[in-house]
Every structure is written in structure tokens, then in C-alpha cells.
Structure 1
Amino acid sequence: MASTAPRARVSPPALAVHSERKRARSPPASGSAVRCSYAGNGAPRGYHRRWQNPAGAPGRVYQRQGSQKYGVPTRRWVLAEESSTSDRDACTIMSYNILADNNVQNHPDLYLEVPWDAMRWDSRRRLIFGEIRHWDPDLVCLQEVDRFRDISTEMNNRGYESRFKGRTGDAKDGCATFWKSKRLCLLDEDSIDFSEYNLRNNVAQIFVFELNRTQKLVVGNIHVLFNPKRGDVKLGQIRMLLEKANTLAEKWGGIPIVLAGDFNSTPDSAIYKFLSTKKLDISLHDRRQLSGLASSEFALYDLCSLLKYQWSDDEMRTATGSSNVTVAKHPLKLFSSYAMLKGNSNNRGHHGEPLATSYHKKFLGTVDYLWYTAGLECSRVLDTLPVGALRRTRGLPTREIGSDHLPIVAEFVFTESTEDDSNQEDESDQDEESEQEATRSHHTYFSSDTDISDEAS
């Protein structure tokens, strides 16, 4: 259910050139995130606590008095080395899997090391809002939202409009997108209920926004299926999102696209390769290995270039769209915002992606991304935390971090349209991934049991 009544759709205009209204990009935040402290894990349920109500700084942590404290590193902006478009309209977008409260209850095994009070929704809610208030993004794409009324009330009070798309079946969460009504105008929208396509009960949202009445862009928000064994479903969901986002972008004259979300795939995975190179030969991969979340991947990846895996007609249709086609393709030339900006080796892998955007009992690694197309340039990203700092928490959330994911944030500026040569396909029969890189993954999967419920985050 949306928090506001749907607007009438606006018919797409004929192609026209708008006069640019320039806006100086705001300087990077000097201090970045509020410094937090980490309280020691574990507390008996009978422990009486008293919460302090701070008078104000956004992101301030409510924490129990007398607890032991550990420093949490500050998150800082990483700026593009060169930007010839710094004086143009800029749009800051956050992607954040906030950990559905229902999933906390259904999967306690993932949070065995987390202090009991850090799992409470009222505590996590304050921290999540603190993150959003502090970074003040123009657009916020949330996943695992099952307390939409709580969140939308707070966001509406801060000048955001919103849309929510819930999952079907027994699931109680969904995706929610918020935007500042003073800066962005909603022109068009679409959504995907993947259950209508026999692709499980995940959902995605797609919008067309106009920024400052001058520039238009498509924004997609998705939470991909978690189940490590169903790489065919993951690939099918992502492929459908890309196709529908491209269709909407073309409808409005070929405007640029940003895709945010929890893709439940690591940077070393075949699915990441599909996103970044526009195609993937699935016959070179086991569907249980496509997303990089299966613990056995390290042993098998170096054999990928030598093996031909068997796919059933149904699995092939799910992954590529056709039962007799082994190569999945999509129409977009995508760039990953974090991979495009050089970060610190303490928290970046060899792909340039963060080493970790999520951490719980069974997984430490990166699954959250902000992808974009030509027509935009990523001018800065909010760097993630070093893996060492995350390991010291022994698992997220904590009393300072409200979810088992870190929010990722990127600022985009519009560029002049250029001829894209990305339509030139590489006709090689080899999947270039073959994959000396992929044998050295930076994510860690802590359990040999990959038979995990689809509902896990």
C-alpha cells in the first residue's frame, strides 16, 4: 500500500532538449558519519536498562549505560578523481536493506552473537532513521520493509513521498522507495511481482523521476531471492528488472537508469558478470553457484571453464527466458558506482567493490549495489566499513548499526549524452569469466549448509 494516492501518469513527451539549470554540487561532508561506540555483546533478559534521550544529533546511538565501548570507524565520502560536470544537477541515492522485523523472528540462528536488545525494532528503527537523516539522500530505496507505516510516517514528516510494493504469499516485507518531493517529481512508475512469472514471491519497483524540472532518470529498486541454490531464479529476476527498466527508459526518450538493491550475489559471481558484461553463458555454470553465496563455490569455480553443466528446460527458461537458449542477455551497459571510484584497500576487493555490505552469522560479504547507465556519472560514494571493524562486532546489527546490511550511498550527476558502443557484442563462445579472478573471492560464507529458506535476508 502506498502512503499517498497514486498520481495520474504523465504521457511521455516527444524528444526535446531541456535547457539545463545548473546547481552547484554541495561540498562533501567534512566529518562524515557520526562516530559511534560498540557495546559488548550479550545481556541477560532480566538486565534493567535505562535509555538516554539525546537532544539531537542525527545518528546518535541510544545505548545502555555502563556497557563496554569499542570504537566504530567513521564512514567517509570517496570522491571521483575528475568530474567535468560538478556544476550540474546532482542526485544522491541510498540503497538499504533494513532487515525485516519478521525475518529477525524467523531466523534467530543468523543473529546468535547479537545482543538481544540490539535486535528490538524500536532500537533498530531509531538507528535506521538516524542513518537516513544524517546522509540526507534525495532518493531512498529500502528492502525488507515490513513496518512501512512506521517508516513512511517518519519519512513523510521529513518531506519524502513514497511507494511500497509488498511480497506475496506468506512474506510480510517488500520494497519501499522514498523521494524528496521538493527536488523530485514522479512522472511514471511500474512494479514487478515475480510470482506472476513463476519467479518466486520477490518484488521490484521502477520509477521515472524528474529532478529540479530539468533532468529525468529511471530508478529501480529490487530485493533478489536469497536461496543460493536457485541461481536460475535470481538470474531471471534480474534479467526481467533490466528489461523493464530499459523499456521505461526508452519510453521517456532513452533517459539514464539507476538500479539499487540487494542483489544477493557477490562481486565474484557469474550473476555479477552478467550485470557488468550484458550476457552470461549459463551452460558453463552450476545454477547453485551463480550467485557466489554457496560455500562450495571455491572448489568448483576453477573448473567452470572446463565443464558443461546440465540445465533442465524449465531452469533454462527461468534463467534466459527460453528453454532452448543457454546465453542470458540484457540490453543495458551498466556501471557499478562503487567499482568506478577507487577506495581504500581495507574495505575494497579486487573488483573495486566493497569487501562487505552485509554481515551475519553465516555470511560476510557484498550483495548490495548501485548500478547506473550512460548519461550519469558517479561523483562520490559513501565508503563502507573495513572488514576488521565488522568482524569485531561479531555480527550485525549492533547497538550502533540498525541492520545486518550497511546502507550504500552514491551521488550522481548528469552528463552529455554520448554515442554508446556497448551494442557491439563480443561473439566469443567463451564466457570470459573463466575465471582466474573468481577463485579468490573476498566474501566469506560460514556454513556448508546452503539449504536456507528463501525468506532469509
Structure 2
Amino acid sequence: MATAFFSCGPFLHHHSYFCKSFFCCSNDADASSTWSLPKSTSSSYTRRWYNPSSRIQLNEGVQILRHWIEADQPSASEEKFRVVSYNILAERNAWKHRGLYPNVPSPYLKWNHRKRVICEELLIWNPDIICLQEVDKYFDVSEIMEKAGYVGSYTRRTGDAIDGCAIFWKADKQMSKAKSRRLLIGNIHVLYNPSRGDVKLGQIRYLLSRAEILSEKWSNLPFVLAGDFNSTPESAIYKFLSSSELNFMSYDRGELSGQSGCHPAEVLGVKKKSCRPFFSLESQTKGFWTEEEVKVATGSADCQVVRNPFMLTSSYATLKGSSTTRGPTGEPLATSYHSKFLGTVDYIWCSDGLIPTRVVDTVPIDILLKTGGLPCEKVGSDHLPLVSEIAFTRTSEESNSQ
């Protein structure tokens, strides 16, 4: 797991695990409302799985447009800030798992190309705060971001992997006004392994517990949580994030993250979900967890309920998009796409005191499929960046002045 924290406020302090800094929230010049990707070149490949876009010449003439979606939020104040969350696909992972990208021409997987495209993607939306996951070339990215006026901080994830999480923020947004409000930012990349729901839940639970301590220490700061949660909107972990608690022992391990059935061919109904032995075994042992797994998930071997100290709202689920980009929960139909996965695992969450006012909608599934899989010429990762503009709620003084 990799996590990073920082708090926006009139101070600057660094810790070996939690990274904190500050900026001033204000209205910025608007970024382009649409983003058009030019034509890319095609490449031959060996088809190892059913490709739903096999009749289309892949990576040729695919135009991706992303638009702002906004809604009138009467309780939103004028103090706003813009957040991007983006899993940028670590260079090591791109080549270690080359089999996930059979349709992607090699030039589009090379780091020098992806680095440039990723930074272009980030800067075009003019964010105040950038939360990145799967960063293993931090100094390559920070060199470009610093030239664009950003300051950054990096935390390597636990375990043997060499990537981690990074946060960048605008250097000229340091809190200069005493009355400017503060907030806490969290950034996380949750374990991928679908069979270790106990670890996934434990990682999120631990982050939320630390965020609660920091928030209370600084007069109950509102909290923004961004990242790759490796859990779909149909999962128990998603339900936990959007509620106050979860009795996780009533779920099996597959239900916790909801990743099964997300192979592109299964999502599109081309083939039925595979019935692997361990799935049927888990259905028979539903609710059975070892003492060690319970301890990992909850922090205590005697606990069955995991508590969420924040009332979190998903920014994308709050602002409705079209049926071509959104699913039944209101979340995007897909934030990640490669040969083995098509679905949503990335989110930007807001606590009480904050209101999402607009988001950059994701890409319609039919357009996404025409790429044959990400990365592509103008998308530098196998994920799409999420972009959300968030406002503080109005104070009583602001409401009375209306």
C-alpha cells in the first residue's frame, strides 16, 4: 500500500510517512472544456483474448472528448479548488505485465512517451492538487511539474514494489490569507489482489483512522480522499467508503472488492463469468474469516465491524453524467481498461464541509473500446485521470450575506 497525506493550511511540516503542505483555494482560469485526441498509428498484434472491437482498426482515428459536468450547488461557497487523481502506470509494471497490453504499440508503452503525455494530461485541467498512484519515476515527473509551478512530495509503498504515491500542489497557492479555510488531502493505492479483501479493507481502515486523528488535531478539517482503490462500485468496500460502518464478515473475499467479472468480454456479455474453484469455495465458506484476517481488516481479532469516521461522498456519483459514461451507482462505467479489466476502481471522495461542483466526465465505453486498450497515443496510462472541482460549504456569514 502507498498512502500520502497533506493538509492545506498556514503551516508547512514534513514527516517520514505523512506529507503535509498548503495552498490557498481560489478561482482559476478555466481549462479547456474539451480535449480532442489526434489520430494515432495502428499496429499488428496477436489476439490472445476476445477483442470486442476486433472489426475496428485499433488505435486509428480514435477521438476522445472529455467535458466538464457541473451542477448548481446553492450551499457551495466561492472558495474552490481543483483535484486530479491519476494512476499513471509505473514503468516497471508496464513492462513486467506486458501481456495486459497486447493491442498497445510498443512506442506508446515507452516511458519517455508516456511521461510527456501524462504531464500534458495533468496540466491541461489546471489542477490545484494532483494525487498520483503507481509512481516509480517521481523525479522525472516532478522536474516537469516544478517547471509548471508545482511542488511535490512522494511516499513509496510498503512491500517489495518500488512505486508509490505522489502529491503535487501549486507553489503559488500557499495560504496568504488568514481567513482562508484549510483541508486535509489523502492519496492511496490499495492492494490489487482480489483474494485479499482483508488487506484491502485494512489499508483503507488504517488510512481513515490516521486521517481522523489529523482532522481532529486541526479543528476537524474537511477531508478529500483520492486514489486507486482496486474495488468496483458494486463492492462491499465501496459501500463502506460511502457509509459509516461495514460488517465485513457477512461478505466473502470476492464481494469485498467486486473485481470478479470485470474481464472486458464478461463486462460486455460476450462470454459468461468463469466459475473458478476458489469462487465456489468462497461461496460455501461465506463469512468465514481466520483470526489473522480479521485482525488485518479491523485492527483487532475480536472486532467484526469496521468504522468509517467520515461521511464521504463520491464527487462523480454526486454529479450525474450520461448513460454512455455512467453506471447504476452514478460512478463512471470505466476508469481503467486493458486486456483483462474494464471497469471503475478510481474515486475522489469528499467529507462533510465540502461539495463537488463539477467533474470532467470520463470516456463513453464505445469510444474507449475503439482504442483496443490503454495506454494509447494520447492517454499515457491504463487508467483515466479523474478531475473534480470542489467547494467549501457556505459559512453562516456567507449565507446571511446573500
**TM-score, length basis structure 2:** 0.81
CA distance in structure 1 between the aligned counterparts of 2:340 and 2:60, rounded to whole angstroms? 25
- 1:437-448 matched pairs, under 5 angstroms: none
Determine which structure has greater relative contact order: mean sequence separation of CA pairs < 8 Å that are 6+ residues apart, divided by chain length: 2
Counterpart in 1 of 2:313?
335
Counterpart in 1 of 2:38?
37
Matched-pair identity in % = 46
Shift of 1:275: 0.5
**Kept after mapping to 2: 8 A contact 1:284/1:307:** no
Counterpart in 2 of 1:452?
none
CA distance in structure 1 between the aligned counterparts of 2:90 and 2:334, rounded to whole angstroms? 20
Q: What amino acid maps onto 1:214 in structure 2?
A: S
CA distance in structure 1 between the aligned counterparts of 2:321 and 2:90, rounded to whole angstroms? 30
Tell me whether 1:283 sits opposite 2:249 in the alignment.
Answer: yes
Counterpart in 2 of 1:350?
328
- 1:229-268 matched pairs, under 5 angstroms: 229-268=195-234
**Kept after mapping to 2: 8 A contact 1:43/1:116:** no
SS class of match (2:207): helix
- 1:4-19 matched pairs, under 5 angstroms: 9=13
Residues 358 and 117 from structure 1, CA distance in 2 versus in 1: closer, same or farther, beyond 3 angstroms?
A: same
Counterpart in 2 of 1:434?
none
**Kept after mapping to 2: 8 A contact 1:183/1:212:** no
Counterpart in 2 of 1:139?
129
SS class of match (1:371): strand
Match of 1:170 among 157, 160, 163: 160
Q: What amino acid maps onto 1:162 in structure 2?
A: G
Counterpart in 2 of 1:157?
147
Shift of 1:223: 0.4
Match of 1:74 among 41, 61, 65: 65
**Kept after mapping to 2: 8 A contact 1:28/1:77:** no
Shift of 1:416: 3.5
CA distance in structure 2 between the aligned counterparts of 1:167 and 1:306, rounded to whole angstroms? 34
What is the total number of aligned residue pairs between the two structures? 354
CA distance in structure 1 between the aligned counterparts of 2:347 and 2:309, rounded to whole angstroms? 18
CA distance in structure 1 between the aligned counterparts of 2:39 and 2:72, rounded to whole angstroms? 33
| Ranges in structure 2 where 5+ consecutive residues have no aligned partner | 5-10, 15-23, 46-57, 263-272, 397-402
Superimposed CA distance per residue, residues 243-277 of structure 1 (whole angstroms, 9 cap, x where no aligned partner): 11111111100110000100110000010001111
Match of 2:259 among 275, 286, 293: 293
CA distance in structure 2 between the aligned counterparts of 1:355 and 1:407, rounded to whole angstroms? 14
Tell me whether 1:83 sits opposite 2:74 in the alignment.
Answer: yes
Shift of 1:158: 1.2
Shift of 1:289: 2.9
**Kept after mapping to 1: 8 A contact 2:25/2:173:** no
Superimposed CA distance per residue, residues 33-78 of structure 1 (whole angstroms, 9 cap, x where no aligned partner): 331134243259xxxxxxxxxxxxxxxxxxxxxx974232310100
Superimposed CA distance per residue, residues 64-108 of structure 1 (whole angstroms, 9 cap, x where no aligned partner): xxx97423231010002333435x111100000000001011111
Residues 184 and 381 from structure 1, CA distance in 2 versus in 1: closer, same or farther, beyond 3 angstroms?
A: farther
**Kept after mapping to 2: 8 A contact 1:334/1:373:** yes
CA distance in structure 2 between the aligned counterparts of 1:231 and 1:146, rounded to whole angstroms? 25
Shift of 1:28: 5.3
**TM-score, length basis structure 1:** 0.72
Q: What amino acid maps onto 1:254 in structure 2?
A: N
Q: What amino acid maps onto 1:37 in structure 2?
A: P
- 1:376-387 matched pairs, under 5 angstroms: 376-387=354-365
SS class of match (2:115): helix
CA distance in structure 2 between the aligned counterparts of 1:217 and 1:416, rounded to whole angstroms? 15
Match of 1:179 among 165, 169, 185: 169
Superimposed CA distance per residue, residues 10-47 of structure 1 (whole angstroms, 9 cap, x where no aligned partner): 9xxxxxxxxxx995x45755x52331134243259xxx
| Ranges in structure 1 where 5+ consecutive residues have no aligned partner | 11-20, 45-66, 186-209, 419-457
CA distance in structure 1 between the aligned counterparts of 2:361 and 2:178, rounded to whole angstroms? 27
CA distance in structure 1 between the aligned counterparts of 2:386 and 2:244, rounded to whole angstroms? 23
Residues 211 and 308 from structure 1, CA distance in 2 versus in 1: closer, same or farther, beyond 3 angstroms?
A: farther
CA distance in structure 2 between the aligned counterparts of 1:69 and 1:124, rounded to whole angstroms? 18
Counterpart in 2 of 1:424?
none
Structure 1 vs Structure 2 CA RMSD: 3.0
Tell me whether 1:408 sits opposite 2:386 in the alignment.
Answer: yes
Counterpart in 1 of 2:116?
126
CA distance in structure 2 between the aligned counterparts of 1:85 and 1:118, rounded to whole angstroms? 41
